[in-house]
Amino acid sequence: MNSAPVRHVLILGGTTEARRLAEELADDPALRVTSSLAGRVAQPRLPAGQVRIGGFGGPEGMARWLREQHVDALIDATHPFAGTISLNAARAAADVHVPLLALRRPGWVPGPGDRWHWAGSLDEAARLLPALGRRIFLTTGRMGLAAFAQLTEQWFLVRSVDAPEPPFPPRMEVLLDRGPFTLEREAELLRRHRIDTLVTKDSGAGATAAKLTAAREAGLPVVVVRRPAAPDGVSVAPDPAAALAWLRATLS
């Protein structure tokens, strides 16, 4: 009879990779899997297993939760641009000595014909736009629109899952939608709205990569915001399979 204790795994989720990992682990009787969602999306896609929604109250609150819930391993599978929660996870895991892995899908790589302009931040992306175009397809999410609010000459098509809140650009149309998106649909969107510049974050998601191909085929410039690096000292896995291998080795 196997008397080994059930091990508790906390997944900081909200991404496709996080849901896939939770699904892989949910049926393992040796594991208790909890996925934590930030609660910024009104109707999130819920993963398998237990789910908690909402913040922890900074690194101290997360460390307290890890300790009280007897977490044995922590996997940060948040969006590549969720920098604050990743830093909090690194601090909390170090404080309570819980093994931590960052699950980060690989970033996008430009190919032949791409006209990419890299930016270190949304503010830098906004500074590039006056020299690039006037009808902008903005796909950086609803949280950072303040960076573009001072641009009065450009018109923006803003795509996000939920409606944005001000401040945002004065000349703007909002498209509420959620990927995956097809190449045909993205190309038609660029044509219909007469887009001349695309702005995106280097999320690396295959579900939203079609816009890059559509922009390349249309000969459009693309401003790509670089993703922040993982916190110092944190191991990184590129996909759920690698994260699963790490977890098995860590808990064995």
The DSSP-derived string for 38-56 is: ---SSS--PPSSEEEES--
* 28-60 confidence digits (pLDDT tens): 999 999 999 987 766 778 898 899 999 999 999
pLDDT above 70: residue 192:
yes
Question: Residue 233 maps to which CATH number?
Answer: 3.40.50.720
* 106-125 confidence digits (pLDDT tens): 999 999 999 999 999 999 99
From edge to edge, which strands make up the β-sheet containing 71-76?
50-53, 31-37, 7-12, 71-76, 100-103, 235-237
In a domain, 2, yes or no: no
In a domain, 64, yes or no: yes
In a domain, 49, yes or no: yes
* 4-28 confidence digits (pLDDT tens): 789 999 999 989 999 999 999 999 9
Least confident of 58-72, 94-108, 202-216: 202-216
Whole-prediction pTM: 0.87
Same domain? For 25 and 58 the reply is: yes
Say what the pLDDT of residue 98 is.
Answer: 98
Please tell me the total count of domains within the chain.
2
* 124-165 confidence digits (pLDDT tens): 999 999 999 999 999 998 888 999 999 999 999 999 988 999
The residue whose two tokens read 């960076």 is: 147
CA-based angle 26:28:30, to the nearest 5? 125
Say what the pLDDT of residue 205 is.
Answer: 72
Same domain? For 170 and 212 the reply is: yes
Same domain? For 207 and 127 the reply is: yes
Average pLDDT in the chain: 94
